[in-house]
């Protein structure tokens, strides 16, 4: 018999009427011949209310007790949901995370799932029950209650769908599906028919709101097709699966992360191990670093800049302060008045001119770009907070995100079949691994590129647009782009990588533009090596970048450029160190490479 998991978020179970409505959906699915597992969140704003209470009592409530408290929210909703189903004449049994056997590690308030037993759920289902599982919670080996982090019920739902081999995982929420950008921010946002796991992972971690990003990691790892839909309307919703909505469109979504803060560490020695010194201290405080930009060092000194969520600036500065004391060099500046605007799309990996389109749109709006980082499927820029909204609107329009792509496929049933076939393989391959453990699928070396750097770029709107326009005109495909704001002066330095045989052409183009914009100079290095580590969980396991830095520092290799995404970390090192670096990364990650 087909099995479906239906998850109802807080707003979908906010009052008794909504609980009865959700119960009817589950009963209908059961009557249509499915076994049904429901996953429910705490009612409405119940979790916030509980956190508020805890904070009235203590500024720093013990994490274990926090979990004890927060897990009650979901316990209330599962019981009421089971009662609702009984009242409507069907059979249901509610279960807490502990009763199901959702084993987690002991990181209270953000525990990771290790394993889930299916026996009890399967037996209850076979007896004709709707199983109602409490979202967001689990239990440690020592029977302490844990929670998975805010929004964690999505992760429970996808994890249950994975272990039960569910045919569908439906996420019921208060919006119609996944949007090209947050519709509360931009009313012209479009609800997409379909989006790929990788794209959704990027958008989720950029704060696109719809789903917990660990739930997407799960879905990708175990190939669970997700259907996001409204509990309030009959809108068709959005599928999250392997394939993107359109292969022609370079970009599928845009996002703004308003509350960012920029930290710059200036004048640190340009030698192996310095990034490690800084970032390992930040990671130890559990702060996720984004948009890392490192100046290609001149006169033996380097500047390293990165962004963190604004409310984590305090602990970040503490960590960096420690690092510069340790290094006995460098100074720190920071800026809280910045926002990050990003575009995401699988299609951009294969198309030229995508960055140009974005930068040109920003230039037309007179938005000054302070920093740029790119990955295979994402371009992010840092702008002044006041320009964030106009910037988002401009790029959303530039990539036609408000209209459906021309050859939009219907919600792909063929992809589901495909995904299902793979799912069994994947589950077999991951047998015996903790479910949320980091898994790498590739470590590779690319020796086909060179780097070009323009320094002393005036910090005014439109320069990046012009540079990448001319480069695209010259038919040169740009891979990594990194721009930082040089905090010494009102200047930036802009580096990018191109195919090695195009370095000379690029230098000619860059030289012409450098003259036109009175930049200080152009330098290049035809001999660089790009090392990439890819897999699932790279950013939520902050240790990956740190382990890479450590491995490279240990063999004396300096990192010249770096970019990170949800699924990949790329670093650029000296060309003649590529092979060695590759060997060392393979050794360091041997335990998680599958």
Cα-based distances in Å from 14 to 20, 78, 146, 151: 11, 12, 23, 15
Q: How far is the CB of 212 from ligand ASP (least distance, A)?
A: 7
Q: Which stretch binds ligand ASP (CB under 6 A): 152-160, 272-280, 507-515, 583-591?
A: 152-160
329 touches 298 (CB < 8 A): no
Q: Is 9 in the site for Mg ion (CB under 5 A)?
A: yes
Q: Of 151 and 330, which CB lies nearer to Mg ion in the complex structure?
A: 151
Neighbours of 126 (CB within 10 A): 10
Angle between helices 463-473 and 354-364 (to 10 degrees): 150
Residue 135: which of Mg ion, ligand ASP, none does it interact with, CB under 5 to 8 A by kind? ligand ASP
Rule CB under 6 A: is residue 535 a binding residue for ligand ASP? no
User: Please, which residue, 154 or 202, has the CB nearer to ligand ASP?
Assistant: 154
130 neighbors 90 (Cβ within 8 angstroms) = yes
By the rule CB under 6 A, 305 interacts with ligand ASP:
no
Residues 131-190 binding Mg ion (CB under 5 A) are 151
Residues 6+ apart with CB under 8 A from 3: 34, 35, 36, 37, 125, 164, 165, 166, 167
Considering the rule CB under 6 A, would residue 12 count as an interface residue with ligand ASP? Answer: no
Contact 68, 109 (CB under 8 A): no
Calpha distance 418→412 (Å, rounded): 10
CA dist list (Å): 257 to 76, 207, 244, 365: 33, 7, 23, 19
Q: End-to-end CA distance of the chain, in Å?
A: 32
Minimum distance between the CB of residue 176 and Mg ion, rounded to whole angstroms? 16
**Contact status: 138 vs ligand ASP (CB under 6 A):** no
Our finding on whether 8 is near ligand ASP (CB under 6 A) is no
What are the CA-CA distances from residue 275 to residues 163, 204, 576 (Å)?
39, 27, 21
Which neighbouring-strand residues pair with 37?
A: 5, 131
Task: State which residue, 309 or 575, has the beta carbon closest to ligand ASP.
Answer: 309
Angstrom distance (rounded) from CA 586 to CA 158:
31
**Shortest reach from residue 491's CB to ligand ASP, in Å:** 43
Window 90-129: contact mask with ligand ASP (x via CB under 6 A):
----------------------------------------
Both structure tokens of 380: 């992010």
Residue 12 or 487 with smaller CB distance to ligand ASP: 12
What is the rounded distance in angstroms from the CA atom of residue 496 to the CA atom of residue 464?
11
**Chosen residue from 3, 5, 6, 10 binding ligand ASP by CB under 6 A:** 10
- Residues making up the chain, counted from first to last: 594
Nearer to Mg ion, 7 or 539 (CB): 7
Q: Is 578 in the site for ligand ASP (CB under 6 A)?
A: no
Q: Is 150 in the site for ligand ASP (CB under 6 A)?
A: yes
Within 10 A of 456 (CB to CB), how many other CB atoms are there? 18
Residue 42 partner contact from Mg ion, ligand ASP, none using kind-dependent CB cut-offs of 5 to 8 Å: ligand ASP
Q: Smallest gap, in angstroms, from Cβ of residue 151 to Mg ion?
A: 5
Q: Are strands 449-458 and 491-499 parallel, antiparallel or unpaired?
A: antiparallel
Max alpha carbon distance in the chain (Å)? 79
Q: Which of residues 241-260 bind ligand ASP (CB under 6 A)?
A: none
**x/- binding map, residues 486-515, to ligand ASP, per CB under 6 A?**
------------------------------
Using CB under 6 A, pick the residue from 8, 136, 218, 306 that binds ligand ASP: 136
Please give the Cα distance from 573 to 562 (Å, whole number): 9
Identified binder of ligand ASP from the candidate list 73, 225, 412, 578, rule CB under 6 A:
73
Q: Which residue is nearest to Mg ion (CB)?
A: 9
Nearest to 194 by CA among 215, 170, 178, 217: 178
Q: Which of 44, 97, 138, 152 binds ligand ASP (CB under 6 A)?
A: 152
152, interface contact from Mg ion, ligand ASP, none, CB < 5-8 Å by kind: ligand ASP
Residue 135 found at the interface with ligand ASP (CB under 6 A) = yes
Residues 37-56 binding ligand ASP (CB under 6 A) are 41-42, 47
153 binds ligand ASP (CB under 6 A): yes
How far is residue 81's CA from residue 83's CA, in Å, rounded to a whole number? 5
Q: What angle do CA 356, 358, 362 make, to 5 degrees?
A: 110
Minimum CB separation of residue 173 from Mg ion in Å reads 7
The minimum distance between CB 59 and Mg ion, in angstroms, equals 26
The footprint of Mg ion (CB under 5 A) covers: 9, 151
The footprint of ligand ASP (CB under 6 A) covers: 9-10, 41-42, 47, 73, 135-136, 150-154
């Amino acid at each position: 018999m087909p099995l479906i998991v239906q998850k109802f978020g807080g707003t979908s179970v906010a009052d008794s009427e909504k609980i009865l409505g959700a119960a009817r959906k589950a009963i209908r699915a059961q009557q249509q011949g499915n076994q049904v597992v429901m996953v429910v969140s705490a009612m409405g704003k119940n979790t916030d209310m509980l956190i508020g209470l805890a904070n009235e009592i203590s500024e720093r409530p013990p994490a274990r007790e926090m979990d004890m408290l927060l897990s009650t929210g979901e316990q209330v909703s599962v019981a009421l949901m089971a009662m609702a189903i009984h009242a409507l004449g069907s059979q249901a049994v509610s279960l807490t995370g502990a009763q199901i056997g959702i084993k987690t590690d002991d990181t209270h308030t953000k525990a990771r799932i290790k394993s889930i037993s299916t026996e009890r759920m399967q037996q209850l289902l076979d007896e004709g029950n709707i199983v109602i599982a409490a979202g967001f919670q689990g239990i440690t080996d020592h029977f302490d209650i844990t929670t998975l982090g805010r929004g964690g019920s999505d992760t429970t739902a996808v994890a249950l769908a994975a272990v039960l081999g569910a045919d569908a995982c439906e996420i019921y929420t208060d919006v119609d599906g996944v949007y090209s950008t947050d519709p509360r921010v931009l009313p012209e946002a479009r609800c997409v028919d379909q989006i790929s796991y990788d794209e959704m992972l990027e958008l989720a971690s950029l704060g696109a709101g719809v789903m917990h990003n660990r739930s997407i990691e799960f879905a990708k790892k175990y190939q669970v097709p997700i259907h996001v839909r409204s509990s309030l309307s009959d809108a068709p919703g959005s599928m999250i699966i392997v394939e993107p909505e359109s292969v022609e469109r370079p970009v599928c979504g845009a996002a703004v992360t308003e509350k960012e803060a920029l930290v710059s560490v200036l004048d640190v020695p340009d030698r192996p191990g310095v990034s490690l010194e800084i970032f390992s201290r930040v990671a130890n405080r559990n702060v996720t670093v984004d948009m890392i930009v490192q100046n290609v060092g001149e006169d033996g000194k380097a500047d390293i800049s990165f962004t963190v969520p604004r409310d984590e600036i305090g602990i970040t500065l503490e960590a960096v302060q420690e690092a510069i004391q340790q290094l006995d060099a460098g100074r720190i500046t920071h800026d809280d008045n910045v926002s990050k605007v990003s575009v995401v799309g699988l299609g951009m990996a294969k198309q030229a001119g995508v960055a140009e389109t974005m930068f040109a749109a920003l230039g037309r709006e007179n938005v000054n770009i302070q920093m740029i980082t790119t990955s295979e499927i994402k371009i992010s820029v840092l702008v002044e907070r006041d320009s964030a909204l106009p910037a988002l609107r401009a790029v959303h329009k530039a990539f036609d995100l408000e209209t459906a792509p021309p050859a939009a496929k219907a919600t792909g049933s063929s992809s589901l079949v495909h995904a299902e076939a793979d799912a069994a393989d994947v589950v077999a391959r991951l047998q015996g691994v903790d479910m949320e453990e980091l898994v790498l699928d590739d470590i590779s070396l690319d020796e086909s590129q060179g780097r070009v750097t323009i320094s002393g770029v005036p910090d005014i709107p439109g320069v990046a647009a012009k540079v990448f326009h001319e480069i695209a005109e010259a038919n040169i495909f740009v891979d990594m782009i990194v721009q930082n704001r040089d905090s010494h002066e009102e200047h930036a330095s802009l580096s990018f990588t191109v195919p090695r045989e195009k370095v000379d052409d690029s230098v000619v183009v860059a030289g012409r533009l450098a003259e036109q914009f009175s930049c200080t100079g152009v330098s290049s290095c035809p001999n660089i090596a790009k090392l990439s580590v890819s897999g699932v969980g790279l950013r939520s396991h902050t240790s990956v970048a740190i382990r890479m830095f450590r491995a490279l520092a240990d063999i004396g290799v300096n990192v010249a450029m770096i970019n990170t995404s949800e699924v990949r970390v790329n670093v650029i090192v000296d060309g003649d160190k590529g092979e060695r670096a590759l060997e060392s990364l393979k050794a360091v990650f041997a335990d998680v490479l599958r």
